[in-house]
């Protein structure tokens, strides 16, 4: 029996989870918009930060939220190195070569995680984990709510930087017309390097939030990559607003599917939604496509 409360419950949980998905997708969409390279290792890089949070907790007893700030810098450097060493050399190659490169990175990270941490599921026990907030019969998980708030905050800062600063204007100009950006004096390669590094660093924020209520296994990366790709395609490739809304939508759809059908069907519903979008709105739900 599906009650109104249950529905509201699912909507709220879905929306909160969707906010976190939205940040993962936003980072992917930003990198794609500016580099025109789709990073299939995006979720695996998120997983690196999740393992990082686990290690920091085991070694130093650091709370996952604290690990966000500690991990942001190494993640930035990792993104920087990946761009210079692996992405940049294939930027002028075909789409397939680029896909092979980032898929290769994904496999390497996955195997490395398996070698270092084993196949066991790792999590971080915090006081927060089981804490909830009850409002009028609706139960809201506090770690989920904090994760939503942190994601929203980071997304907000990001969009302020893109819309309100000179550097942000150069990033958007580069996404819209890289050659013209060059003719305006923008160092396009440097812009791309920074944007890619930033898109990886943002994942530290997501990882810190996720590790307060979920676990990490070596295949988690793939799961998040697929999710982020779906969201980004749903919103329209390179469209940041679309990616954000797409993230919220996927979160809600997943939660509702869990209520109306059962939780095993949740992921399937996401794929159906995705298929329908590609069929009827191939440039994304909001049909803005590449505008970034």
Partner 1 sequence: MKPLLQVDKLRAGYGAVEVLHGVGLRVEAGEAVAVLGPNGAGKSTLLRTLSGLARAAAGEILLDGAPIQALPAHRIVGAGLVQVPEARHIFPYLTVLENLRVGATPVRDPAHKEQTLERVFTLFPMLRDKAKSPARTLSGGQQQMLAIGRALMGRPRLLMLDEPSLGLAPRVVEEVYEALRQLRSASGLTILLVEQDVYQALDFADRAYVLQNGEFALSGSSAELRNNDTIRAAYLGM
Q: Which residues bind to partner 1, rule: CB under 8 A? A: 166, 169-170, 172-173, 176-177, 179-188, 291-292
**C-beta atoms surrounding 228 within 10 Å:** 30
Q: Measure the CA–CA gap between 160 and 54, rounded to whole angstroms.
A: 31
Min CB(34)–partner 1 separation in Å: 13
Min CB(36)–partner 1 separation in Å: 16
Min CB(209)–partner 1 separation in Å: 30
Min CB(157)–partner 1 separation in Å: 19
Residue 131 or 176: which CB sits closer to partner 1? 176
Residue 66 or 168: which CB sits closer to partner 1? 168
Distance of CA 120 to the CA centre of its chain: 23
Residue 63 or 170: which CB sits closer to partner 1? 170
Q: What are the residues whose beta carbons fall under 8 Å from the beta carbon of 283, sequence distance 6 or more?
A: 236, 289
Residue 33 or 247: which CB sits closer to partner 1? 33
Kindly tell me the burial class for residue 268, based on how many C-beta atoms sit within 10 Å of its own C-beta (0-12, 13-18, 19 or more).
Answer: exposed
Min CB(37)–partner 1 separation in Å: 20
Residue whose entry in the numeric block shows the structure tokens 């779906």: 230
Handedness of CA 242, 245, 251, 254 (dihedral sign): negative
Closest-CA residue to 87 (of 74, 108, 102, 76) = 102
Q: Measure the CA–CA gap between 39 and 199, rounded to whole angstroms.
A: 10
* Tokens standing for residue 66: 């604290």
Q: What's the Cα-to-Cα distance from 16 to each of 128, 228, 255, rounded to whole Å? A: 16, 16, 10
Kindly tell me the burial class for residue 239, based on how many C-beta atoms sit within 10 Å of its own C-beta (0-12, 13-18, 19 or more).
Answer: buried
Min CB(183)–partner 1 separation in Å: 5
Q: Measure the CA–CA gap between 271 and 140, rounded to whole angstroms.
A: 27
Residue 133 or 184: which CB sits closer to partner 1? 184
Q: Beta strand 132-135 with 138-141: parallel, antiparallel or unpaired?
A: antiparallel
Min CB(194)–partner 1 separation in Å: 14
Residue 145 or 182: which CB sits closer to partner 1? 182
Residue 5 or 165: which CB sits closer to partner 1? 165
């Amino acid at each position: 029996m599906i009650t109104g409360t249950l529905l509201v419950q699912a909507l709220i949980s879905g929306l909160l989870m969707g906010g976190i998905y939205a940040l993962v997708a936003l980072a992917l969409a930003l990198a794609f918009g500016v580099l025109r390279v789709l990073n299939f290792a995006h979720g695996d890089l998120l997983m690196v930060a999740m393992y990082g949070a686990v290690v920091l907790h085991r070694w130093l007893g650091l709370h996952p939220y604290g690990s966000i700030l500690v991990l942001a810098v190494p993640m930035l450097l990792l993104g920087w190195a990946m761009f210079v060493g692996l992405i940049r050399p294939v930027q002028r190659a075909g789409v397939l070569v680029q896909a092979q490169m980032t898929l290769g990175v994904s496999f390497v990270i996955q195997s490395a995680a398996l070698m270092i941490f084993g196949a066991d599921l790792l999590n971080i026990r915090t006081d927060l984990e089981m804490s909830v907030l009850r409002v009028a019969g609706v139960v809201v998980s506090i770690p989920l709510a904090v994760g939503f708030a942190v994601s929203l905050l980071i997304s907000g800062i990001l969009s302020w930087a893109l819309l309100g600063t000179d550097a942000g204007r150069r990033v958007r100009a580069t996404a819209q017309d890289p050659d013209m950006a060059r003719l305006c004096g923008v160092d396009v390669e440097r812009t791309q390097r920074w944007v890619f590094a930033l898109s990886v660093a943002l994942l530290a924020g997501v990882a810190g939030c996720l590790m307060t209520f979920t676990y990490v296994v070596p295949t988690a990366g793939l799961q998040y990559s697929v999710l982020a790709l779906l969201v980004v395609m749903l919103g329209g490739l390179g469209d940041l607003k679309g990616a954000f809304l797409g993230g919220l939508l996927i979160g809600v759809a997943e939660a509702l599917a869990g209520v109306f059908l059962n939780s095993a069907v949740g992921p399937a519903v996401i794929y159906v939604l995705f298929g329908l979008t590609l069929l009827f709105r191939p440039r994304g739900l909001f049909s803005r496509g590449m505008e970034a």
